Amino acid sequence: MREKIKKGNAPSKVARKETFHLNLMVLPGVILFIIFNYLPMFGIIIAFKNYNPNLGILGSPWCGLDNFKFFFTSQDASRVIGNTVMYSVVFLAVDLIAGVGLALMFYNLRSGKALKFYNTVVILPRFLSAVIVAFIVYIILNPSYGLANQLLTALGFSKVQWYMKPQYWPVILTVTHVWQTVGMNSIIYYASLMGLDENLLEAAALDGANKWKQTRHVVIPHLVPVMVINTILAIGHLFSGDFGLFYQVPKDVGMLYPATDIINTYTFRALQNGSLEKSTAVGLFQSLMGLILVTLTNAVVRRISSDNSLF
């Protein structure tokens, strides 16, 4: 009887031992996550206080929602919120289309060496800092000797003062964003395509489906779950933006604020002026909106297709 009990318990002991080792591997990441993501959440109360460094966070007097009123009643609120949401929606759509399109091209590329080369080329910009990206953009858009103005003058057009014309910057920032991020986005979809059953494509070809119909009816449906998850996560950032892109690339030129100023850059300038409590309030607003949008979007997706929902 004892031998049977030992034999019956043996698998569970092995499983517990394996689980212990896996948990031990995850532990450093969990500790770092708690230290850098959860413990700092204590500072959220600064958003509801008239913060005084001499009194500290707990000693500073409460001010209710006054720090939120500063942002929502300011004349810049509608502009920065509008810019943030507009760019986020455009980036979401462009990232989805460009990422899937590039992944499909990689998937249909049969040369292994060419695939490695193109993957390296498109991913490389993602590892460049915002300062380097801003310098590259400035080389192209320099008012005096930039490549863009040299090309315009060679074609008989007059030079453009790019850093004084806000109407051009929605396109400039979108192109810069796509150039920097499309490579990594495409790799996510390409990795998903590696799990596609080739027999499905062969069966479709036997049924007379050409390359376009195979892509439309077999490949794209295979990518839908990944596309939905990426879209849900991107919607959570509708009220946020890439600070480096919107601050470094336009060089924080005041004349370009109507087209380049977003919540993140606006908050940073408030922080520079010593308004820690006001910037914290705006940051809390962004986080809450992100949480609400992700939850609502996921609920809609779960109602339509529970298999594709995030949680």
Least confident among 135-139, 272-276, 284-288: 272-276
Query: Could you read off the pLDDT of 142-180 as tens digits, one per residue?
Result: 988 899 999 999 999 999 999 999 999 999 999 999 999
Of 248, 264, 243, the C-alpha closest to 137 is 248
- In terms of pLDDT, which residue wins out, 128 or 311? 128
Alpha-carbon dihedral angle through residues 233, 239, 245, 248, given to the nearest 10 degrees: -150
The answer as to whether 15 is a domain residue is: no
The confidence band for 133, taking pLDDT boundaries of 50, 70 and 90, is: very high
Residue 249 · residue 173 · CB < 8 Å: yes
| pLDDT of 6 higher than 70 | no
65, part of any domain: no
116 belongs to a structural domain: yes
Q: Is 250 within the bounds of a domain?
A: yes
Write down the pLDDT at residue 147: 93
Secondary structure of the chain in HEC code, one letter for each residue: CHHHHHHHHHHHHHHHHHHHHHHHHHHHHHHHHHHHHHHHHHHHHHHHECCCCCCHHHHCCECCCHHHHHHHCCCCHHHHHHHHHHHHHHHHHHHHHHHHHHHHHHHCCCCHHHHHHHHHHHHHHHHCCHHHHHHHHHHHHCCCCCHHHHHHHHCCCCCCCHHHCHHHHHHHHHHHHHHHHHHHHHHHHHHHHCCCCHHHHHHHHHCCCCHHHHHHHHHHHHHHHHHHHHHHHHHCCCCCCCHHHHHHCCCCCHHHHHHHCCHHHHHHHHHHCCCHHHHHHHHHHHHHHHHHHHHHHHHHHHHHCHHHCCC
What is the structure's pLDDT at 243?
92
Tell me the pLDDT of the chain averaged across its residues: 88
Q: What global pTM score does this model have?
A: 0.84
pLDDT category at 5 given cuts 50, 70, 90 is very low
According to the model, what pLDDT value does residue 11 have?
Answer: 52
Task: Kindly state the tokens that stand for 171.
Answer: 């396109």
Whether the pLDDT of residue 4 is over 60: the answer is no
Confidence (pLDDT) at 149: 93
Residue bearing the bigger pLDDT, 193 or 4: 193
22 in a domain, yes or no? Answer: no
Mean pLDDT over 264-291 rounds to: 86
Residue range(s) defining the domain that contains residue 275: 70-308
- Confirm whether 107 is domain-assigned: yes
> Given a cut of 60, is residue 1 above it in pLDDT?
no
Residue-level pLDDT at 249: 95
Does residue 260 form part of some domain?
yes
Q: How confident is the model at residue 197 (pLDDT cuts 50, 70, 90)?
A: confident
Give the model's pLDDT for residue 7. Answer: 47
pLDDT the model gives residue 136: 95
Number of structural domains found in the chain: 1
Predicted confidence (pLDDT) at residue 3 exceeds the cutoff of 50: no
Do residues 159 and 141 make contact, with C-beta atoms less than 8 angstroms apart? Answer: no
Q: 71 or 1: which carries more pLDDT confidence?
A: 71
How does pLDDT run across 25-50, given as a tens digit for each residue? 899 999 999 999 888 888 889 999 99
pLDDT of residue 169: 96
In the chain, the percentage of residues whose pLDDT exceeds 90 is: 50
Whichever domain contains 261, its CATH number is: 1.10.3720.10
- pLDDT higher than 90, residue 132: yes
pLDDT in tens, 199-248: 888 888 888 888 888 998 899 999 999 999 999 989 988 998 899 999 99
